[in-house]
Structure 1
Amino acid sequence: MFKNILFDFDGTIMDTSPGIYDSFDRVVEHYKLDYPRSEYHRMIGPPIRDSFRDFLGFQEAEVENAIKVYRDYYAVEGMYNGDIYTGIVPLITNLRKSGKKIFTATSKPEYYTRKIIERKGLLELFDFIGGSDISEKGRTSKQDVVEYVLETQNLSEKKEDCILIGDRKFDVIGAHAVGIKCAGILWGFGSREEFEKAEADWIFETPEDVEKFLLS
């Protein structure tokens, strides 16, 4: 059914929450904010610039410095702190064996995404790694990233052959805005209720469920 599979990264391919949460800690501590760690999950999915503004209450003038505080830790140590979800490597391996093309489409900066995938020894599993620009000012939203992946991979005229797999409503919204289908997955940071409200095309509980669907 679908020949080109786009994967979100955080919460879909990898549980990046340990390193992200530690990096959020640095920001909360630096600014002496009263923001509970139990709410950090809300900030995984949107562009970090939006999260800092919408959830931590930063004014636009302070967002740049807050991102620097975050990245001073994340870029050195935090981004490697996490694990690839069980079942993801077999899923992507089997999809590739069947002739499907595999891409990432993540709001995480492309530079960091590539470095993490390379460190985990999985670079050969992907035909292209697409993410936001490092400044997170131009290509930031999921719609921006999906459009970027389709354009650079000459898939803009083949949208019916493409699907995005992701764990948050932002994936559904971004995919639909571009004109491709989106499947929500439940092993990440989102919920069934979130996907139903966002009108995800499909909802899957495990990587095995995704594989059965894409290879059926």
Structure 2
Amino acid sequence: MFDYIFFDFDGTLMDTSRGVFNSFDRVVSHYGLNIDRAVYSTMIGPPLKESFSKTLGLAESEIQNAMKVYREYYSRDGMFEADVYSGIVPLIQALRSGGKKIFVATSKPEEYARQILERKEMLELFDFVGGSDMEEKKRVEKCDVVNYVLESNGISMQKEKCILIGDRHYDVDGAHAAGIKCAGILWGFGSRKEFEDCGADFIFNSPKEIEDFILEKN
């Protein structure tokens, strides 16, 4: 059924919350905002610009500066404050052994995703890493990133063989907008209700469930 497996990054491949939350702290402190840190978990998934505008309530004129403040910490320390979820590496290795092509499709800047994967000695596990442009101006929404990965790998005409694995409704919405199926996972930042409400094609509790499903269905 599926030969091309797309993985979201934050909340799917890795728990990046420690570094992301510490970076959000810098922005909140810089602007003197009174924000409950509990809302940070809702800010993992959507593009930074959206989180800063809708969740932190920053004016459009401040978004680019807020991104600069965020990245001053994130690019130095925060992006490496991440932990690979248990079972992810064996899952990818099994899928590769089964002849599948493995991609990353993330709203995180592509440069950061590659650096993190390289630091974690995982970069070679992926056939292609696709992310947003650094300025988050032309390739940010998940749909745009998925289409970028499809086009870059010459598989835009094989969408029925593609599936995105992600942990938020943004992944489901973006995958469906791009014309591919999406599976929601429950070890990240989303919930079963979120996936049921947004129409995820499949919902998985563990990496092993994904391995069994994809390899048994092919």
Q: Same fold (TM over 0.5)?
A: yes
Q: Which residue of 1 aligns with 2:184?
A: 184
**What residue identity is the alignment partner of 2:84?**
I
> What is the match of residue 140 of structure 1?
140
Distance 1:178 1:69 in 2: 32
1:63 corresponds in structure 2 to 63
Letter in 1 for 2:154: N
Q: Please name the residue that 1:40 is paired with.
A: 40
CA distance in 2, matches of 1:52, 1:208: 35
Kindly, what percent of the aligned residue pairs are identical?
62
TM-score, normalisation: structure 2: 0.98
What is the TM-score of this pair, normalised by structure 1? 0.99
Coordinate RMSD, CA, aligned: 0.4
Q: How many residues align?
A: 216
Could you tell me how far apart the structure 1 residues matched to 2:206 and 2:34 are? 35
For residues 112-142 of structure 1, the C-alpha deviation after alignment (integer angstroms, 9 at most, x for no partner) is: 0000000000111000000000110110000
- Alignment partners' CA distance in 1, 2:72 and 2:203: 36
1:153 CA displacement: 0.4
How much does 1:82 deviate? 1.2
Aligned twin of 2:204: 204
Matches within 5 A, 1:148-187: 148-187=148-187
Q: Which amino acid aligns with 1:160?
A: E
Gaps of 5+ in 1: none
Listed one character per residue, the Cα deviations across residues 47-93 of structure 1 (whole Å, up to 9, x for unaligned) are: 01111001000111100000000000000000000100000000000
Amino acid in the other structure paired with 2:195 = F
1 CA distance for matches of 2:41 and 2:65? 21
Q: Per-residue deviation at 1:167? A: 0.1
What one-letter code is carried by the residue in structure 1 that aligns with 2:155? Answer: L
Q: Could you say what secondary structure the match of 1:215 adopts? A: helix
Cα distance in 2 between the residues matched to 1:99 and 1:182: 20
Q: Deviations over 1:154-213 (max 9, x none)?
A: 010000010000000000000000110000000000000100000000000100111111
2:8 and 2:136 map into 1 onto residues whose CA distance is 17
User: Could you say what secondary structure the match of 1:203 adopts?
Assistant: strand
